[in-house]
Amino acid sequence: MTYSCDEVLKAFRNETETVIPISFWRHFAESEFIDGLQHPEVIQLNLAGHKKFIDETQPDFVKTMSDGYFAYPFLNVTDRTSLSDWRSLETLPEGHPWLSGQYDLAVAQNKLAGKRPTFYTIFSPMILFKWALINHETEPLTLSDHRFADFYEENPVIVKQVLFKIAQDLKKLIRIVLKSGIEGIYYSTQSIQDYRVDNKEFFEDIMEAVDLEVQEEIKRCFDLNILHICGFAGATNHLEWFTNYPLQVINWATDVDGYSLAQGKKLFGDRPVLGGFGNDSKSILYSGTKSEIQAEAKRIVAEAGRRGVIIGADCTIPRDTPIEHLQWAIEAVHQL
């Protein structure tokens, strides 16, 4: 069943819905951290994966994956283990392929989505910075948080400078993908998972400041956008700290951060909300029967309501989630 773009976007505008939009998303490359500038075949895997996934699930909107561009270039930083070397970080020139390549990717993904609204994924400066601090082939992702906290303890001034330089390049990227035909941006941010920076002072002075720098540009360029407060792999966030963030639609880990869709909608001043399903291998979406998955879909809608409510998952679903599970969830929501 295909709905018009205007019918789907009623939920994003916080209007009473004639259609309850639903969509899911996943990675398609073997690893999302493979550098697409060095391995352009990853970009082709990205596009082929999106086409197959859209054809099979028929979502109401498309939240695309930027696999191949997780590796921000960090110009002029030769030793990423030395914080002093980060002082030399240079912003990207306007024509850098990390920027222009994402325009090409967004154009191609938007074409694959057809008439569906498309939201392109951009990660926060802090996420891009911490990801650069580990070897993704040999070290666990959580180690990146601890190394970021080490750097911050060593010299918070350098860390802040790095984050705002990355923010300037993300603002360039936003202005570039504005011309691709997409509906808006899906902006992913996440607190550092280390007790040394898990406090309100760090959040307000560093994280919120740099996130707002990027989000104000997103809001200036696009009318409808999604704020993703990432709870992937059990990461936790103080959801109540994010209420000053200005993006229009809010997506978070309902299973982890302690707020249902209805509770989160109230917390964020009645803004539209997205999510409801868990996104790990223990979730109903991953392991449930058809009746269990469809009952859960109906429960989420009954609890959250039919104004400004968009159904999806807490975050990216596992690669091996059975397609029919997604089809069952979509079918159940469409029946409502």
Q: Is pLDDT of 47 > 80?
A: yes
Burial environment of residue 270 by CB neighbours within 10 A (0 to 12, 13 to 18, 19 or more): exposed
* Residues β-bridged to residue 226: 186, 249
- Looking at per-residue pLDDT, the higher value among 236 and 234 belongs to 236
Q: Is pLDDT of 315 > 80?
A: yes
pLDDT-derived band at 37, boundaries 50, 70, 90: confident
CA atoms within 13 A on the CB side of 119: 31
pTM: 0.96
Contact yes or no for 304/265 (Cβ under 8 A):
yes
Name every residue whose Cβ is closer than 8 Å to that of residue 220 and which is 6 or more positions away in sequence: none
Q: Is pLDDT of 266 > 80?
A: yes
Name the 3-class secondary structure at 9: helix
* Tens-digit pLDDT profile for residues 75-106: 999 999 999 999 999 999 999 999 999 999 99
What's domain 39-272's architecture?
A: Alpha-Beta Barrel (3.20)
d(CA 25, CA 65): 8
Residue 155: its pLDDT value, please? 97
Q: Is pLDDT of 2 > 80?
A: no
Map out the domains of the chain as residue ranges.
Answer: 39-272
* Tens-digit pLDDT profile for residues 105-136: 999 999 999 999 999 999 999 999 999 999 98
d(CA 56, CA 122): 25
Residue 1: its pLDDT value, please? 59
Mean of pLDDT over the chain: 95
Q: Is pLDDT of 34 > 90?
A: no
Residue 234: its pLDDT value, please? 78
d(CA 20, CA 332): 11
* Tens-digit pLDDT profile for residues 6-15: 899 999 999 9
Residue 325: its pLDDT value, please? 98
Q: Is pLDDT of 36 > 90?
A: no
* Tens-digit pLDDT profile for residues 170-220: 999 999 999 999 999 999 999 999 999 999 999 999 999 999 999 999 999
The tokens of 323 are what?
């397609």
Contact yes or no for 117/12 (Cβ under 8 A):
yes
Q: Is pLDDT of 33 > 90?
A: no
Residue 137: its pLDDT value, please? 86
DSSP assigned state of 310: E
CA–CA distances in Å: residue 168 to residues 90, 204, 212, 224, 321 = 10, 19, 12, 21, 36
Q: Is pLDDT of 321 > 80?
A: yes
